[in-house]
């Protein structure tokens, strides 16, 4: 009986000490972790809307966020959309900027992905993929070009697929088009 009480006492003691330590450490690191997350999103917003000076969240769900991008006078110049969708083998997280009339997609940035290295992972590659996403018309959604074209040959709503990684390219197009539908509902 005595040994049993002793057992409980020791384990409780160890657990209490450890939780105290952890609580202190959590409070200590929390602001840094939040700052990191915010910095990552802020940096992405700066990149996808040209000339943006500050931003305000309009929609702030865990998997879908819209930010209003404002210039120095506080006037709205566009929206940054953060969205997560299914890729070839895991989720793809992207951020893209659109103008305030929802007509043009300024540019696209892939924040997180686990596609096949060397193939689908090229969706983060500027020369092979992302540069084709500059200033696309989005009134009727984005489409993949039937075959590889030069930048100036692409229609205003077309982007090139990555050769050998059609599936990942399509996944990104679908994620963007789905997000655009949602944005049109949220922003009127």
Partner 1 sequence: MEKQYASDFKISSSPHLRGKESVPKIMYWVVGILMLPVASSIYFFGMNAVRILLISVIVSLLTEYIFLVSRKKDISLLFDGSAIITGILLALTLPPGLKSSYVVIGAFVSIALGKQVFGGLGYNMFNPALVGRAFLQASFPVAMTTWIPPVIQKMVDAKTFATPLGGFKFSHILTPYKNLLIGNTGGSLGETSAILLIVGGIILLIKKYIDWKIPTGILLTVFVLEGGLYLINPEKYANPLFHILAGGLLLGAFFMATDMVTSPITPKGTWIYAVGIGVLVVLIRVFGGLPEGVMYSILIMNAFVPLLNRYTRPKILGEGGKK
Partner 2 sequence: MASKENSYFSDFIKGLWKENPVLVQFLGMCPTLAVTNAVVNAIAMSAAVIFVLVASAIIISLIRKFIPAQVRIASFIVVIATFVTMADRYLAAFYPELSKALGPFIPLIVVNCIILGRMEAFASKNNVGRSILDALGMSFGFAIGLLLMSTFREILGNGTWLGYEVLGNWWDKWMVMILPPGAFLTLGTIVGVSKFLQTKFKKA
Enumerate binding residues for partner 2 (CB under 8 A).
Answer: 3, 6-7, 10-11, 14-15, 18, 21-22, 25-26, 29, 32-33, 36, 40, 112, 116-119
Rounded to the nearest 5 percent, the helix, strand and coil shares of the chain are 45, 25, 30
Which of 4, 37, 73, 146 is the binder for partner 1 (CB under 8 A)?
Answer: 146
Q: What is the dihedral of CA 85, 170, 99, 158, to 10 degrees?
A: 180
Minimum distance of partner 2 from residue 21's CB (angstroms): 6
Q: How far is CA 108 from CA 18, 25, 80, 83, in A?
A: 44, 37, 10, 11
Q: Give the nearer residue to partner 2 in terms of CB position, either 40 or 56.
A: 40
Q: By rule CB under 8 A, what count of residues binds partner 1? A: 10
Can residue 127 be called a binding residue for partner 1 (CB under 8 A)? no
Q: Give the nearer residue to partner 2 in terms of CB position, either 21 or 148.
A: 21
94: closest CA among 159, 9, 5, 17? 159
Minimum distance of partner 2 from residue 59's CB (angstroms): 24
From partner 1, partner 2, none, which one binds at residue 167 (CB under 5 to 8 Å depending on kind)? partner 1
Q: Quick one: which H or E segment has residue 5? A: helix 2-48
From partner 1, partner 2, none, which one binds at residue 25 (CB under 5 to 8 Å depending on kind)? partner 2
Can residue 167 be called a binding residue for partner 1 (CB under 8 A)? yes
Which of 119, 145, 154, 173 is the binder for partner 1 (CB under 8 A)?
Answer: 119
Can residue 116 be called a binding residue for partner 1 (CB under 8 A)? yes
40: closest CA among 106, 89, 110, 87? 110
- Between strands 143-144 and 158-159, the pairing is parallel
Can residue 91 be called a binding residue for partner 1 (CB under 8 A)? no
Helices and strands (DSSP H and E) totals, the chain: 2, 8
d(CA 140, CA 23): 51
Can residue 37 be called a binding residue for partner 1 (CB under 8 A)? no
Footprint on this chain of partner 1 (rule: CB under 8 A): 88, 116, 118-119, 146-147, 163-164, 166-167
């Amino acid at each position: 009986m005595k040994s049993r009480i002793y057992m409980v006492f020791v384990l409780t003691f160890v657990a209490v000490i450890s939780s105290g330590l952890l609580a202190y450490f959590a409070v200590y690191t929390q602001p840094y972790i939040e700052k990191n997350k915010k910095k990552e999103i802020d940096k992405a917003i700066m990149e996808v809307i040209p000339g943006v000076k500050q931003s305000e969240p309009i929609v702030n769900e865990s998997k879908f966020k819209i930010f209003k991008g404002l210039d120095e006078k506080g006037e709205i110049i566009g929206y940054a959309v953060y969205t997560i969708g299914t890729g070839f083998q895991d989720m793809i997280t992207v951020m893209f900027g659109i103008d305030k009339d929802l007509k043009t997609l300024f540019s696209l940035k892939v924040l997180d992905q686990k596609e096949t290295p060397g193939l689908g992972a090229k969706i983060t590659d500027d020369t092979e993929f992302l540069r084709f996403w500059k200033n696309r018309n989005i009134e009727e959604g984005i489409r993949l070009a039937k075959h590889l074209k030069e930048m100036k040959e692409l229609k205003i709503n077309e982007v090139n697929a990555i050769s050998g990684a059609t599936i990942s390219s399509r996944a990104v197009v679908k994620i963007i088009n789905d997000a655009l539908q949602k944005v049109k509902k949220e922003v009127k």
